[in-house]
Each structure stands twice: as structure tokens, then as C-alpha cells.
């Protein structure tokens, strides 16, 4: 498990987000400003351009560059949030062997970055509602002896449940919170892209 595997993940994720851009934007049009799909697509297209232009010596260098690219290319809430995720995820993997346990610690560090920036709590109807159950399921899978792909698969399944559970919630963070009670009845776009991110990781980081 090394640089090429993580680069494959980012490429697969870029493709997935491109294919789902219209869907993510449709979700954001109901409770936001109809740009989540184009934000994610633009950001990850830029990440792929960086992968094509540069070569990376280490996993952390690759992931940190992806994070900086997202911060610089994506306006809106999601750019800095996902950018910080990748920056901290990469930083946590600097100089350590990629194992199910170290990736779990790195995921926690990345999500810690999302919380430090966005101050979301569970139930606020944000991407954290997908991340929180995903981290829990990941740790439980590793404790039960899962390999990386198994743990990421468990995380992706839990994220999907968390994503679905955002639908009835009233948003308390981000643009959707401006709608108050009218935000209920719609699935959160960011929880949806987080689920795509983890599904892509489970497919590619085997």
C-alpha cells in the first residue's frame, strides 16, 4: 500500500464525483445554492491535474498536495472542509506504515480537521453525520480483525446509513441552516459526497 494506491483512490474519487456532479448539485439545490456537485467536480479535476503533472515520493506528500489543491480551488464550505481533511489525513500518515490501524488514526485526524473548521455536531445535518458513524464502524471492524478494505467497506456502509439519516433532520450548520424547518425532508449533499469518498476508498485501497 503506497503512493500509487492512494493516487488511484483520488482518481477513482474524481471520476465518481464527476459522474455524480448533477446529483450532488440537485441535492444542494433543495437546501443550498446548487453548487456542491460542481464544487467537488472542479476540486477533484484539479487534484487529478496535479497528479498528472507531478510525482510524489510519499503518501503524505500526495495527500497534503490534494488537500491544498482543494482549499485553493473550491470556494464554498466544502473546499476548506475536505481540503483540511486531506491535509490532516496526509500529515497523520507521514513516516508511518500504512496499516488498518494507522489509516484509522489518520481518518480520525482528518475528521478532527473538519470539526475544527466547521464546528459541526452530530445531528446538525452535515457531512459529519456520515463521518461520525463511519469512524466508529471503521474502528469496530479493525478491532474485529478486518483488513483495510474490510474496515473501509464497513465505514462506507455506516456512512451511507448516516447520510440517509440526514433526510429528516433540520440543518443547524452551513447554508441549509438558513432554511430552518424547511431544510427537513432533504438529504444532505455533503454527507452524500462523504459516502462516495469512502465507497471509493473501499473499492480502491484493497
Q: Which is nearer to ligand ADP, 59 or 114 (CB)?
A: 114
Report the residue from 56, 85, 86, 128 that binds ligand ADP according to the rule CB under 6 A.
128
What cell numbers appear for 149 in the block?
478494505
Among 174, 183, 195, 204, contact with ligand ADP (rule: CB under 6 A)? 174
Q: Which is nearer to Mg ion, 32 or 110 (CB)?
A: 32
The distance of closest approach from Cβ of residue 33 to Mg ion in the complex, given in angstroms and rounded to an integer, is 4
Residue 65, C-alpha cell as written in the block? 498536495
Among 36, 42, 64, 186, binds ligand ADP (CB under 6 A): 36
How does DSSP assign 22-78, residue by residue? Answer: HHHHHHHHHHS-S-HHHHHHHHHHHHHHHHHH---SSHHHHHHHHHHHHHHH--TTH
Q: Which residue is nearest to Mg ion (CB)?
A: 32
Closest C-alpha to 78, from 139, 45, 21, 35: 35
Stretch in the footprint of ligand ADP (CB under 6 A) among 35-43, 52-60, 65-73, 94-102 = 35-43
- Coil, helix or strand at residue 192: helix
What's the closest the beta carbon of residue 185 comes to ligand ADP, in angstroms? 15
Q: Smallest gap, in angstroms, from Cβ of residue 18 to ligand ADP?
A: 15
Q: Does 37 bind Mg ion (CB under 5 A)?
A: no
77 to 116: interface string for ligand ADP, x by CB under 6 A: xx--x--------------------------------x--
Cα dist from 201 to 17, 107, 134, 155, 173, whole Å:
13, 12, 12, 10, 26
- Phi, psi angles (nearest 5°) of residue 35: -135, 5
Given the rule CB under 5 A, which residues bind Mg ion? Answer: 28, 32-33, 35-36
Amino acid at each position: 500500500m503506497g503512493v500509487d494506491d492512494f493516487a488511484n483512490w483520488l482518481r477513482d474519487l474524481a471520476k465518481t464525483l464527476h459522474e455524480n456532479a448533477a446529483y450532488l448539485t440537485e441535492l444542494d439545490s433543495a437546501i443550498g445554492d446548487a453548487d456542491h456537485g460542481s464544487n467537488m467536480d472542479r476540486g477533484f479535476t484539479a487534484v487529478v491535474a496535479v497528479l498528472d503533472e507531478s510525482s510524489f515520493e510519499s503518501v503524505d506528500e500526495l495527500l497534503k498536495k490534494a488537500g491544498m489543491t482543494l482549499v485553493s480551488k473550491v470556494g464554498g464550505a466544502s473546499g476548506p472542509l475536505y481540503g483540511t481533511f486531506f491535509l490532516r489525513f496526509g500529515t497523520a500518515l507521514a513516516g508511518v506504515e500504512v496499516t488498518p490501524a494507522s489509516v484509522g488514526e489518520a481518518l480520525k485526524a482528518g475528521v478532527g480537521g473538519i470539526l475544527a473548521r466547521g464546528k459541526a455536531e452530530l445531528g446538525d445535518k452535515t457531512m459529519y453525520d456520515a463521518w461520525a458513524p463511519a469512524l466508529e464502524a471503521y474502528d469496530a471492524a479493525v478491532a474485529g480483525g478486518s483488513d483495510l478494505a474490510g474496515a473501509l467497506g464497513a465505514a462506507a456502509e455506516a456512512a451511507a446509513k448516516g447520510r440517509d439519516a440526514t433526510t429528516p433532520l433540520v440543518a443547524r450548520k452551513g447554508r441549509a441552516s438558513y432554511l430552518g424547518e424547511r431544510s427537513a425532508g432533504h438529504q444532505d449533499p455533503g454527507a452524500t459526497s462523504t459516502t462516495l469518498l469512502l465507497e471509493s476508498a473501499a473499492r480502491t485501497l484493497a
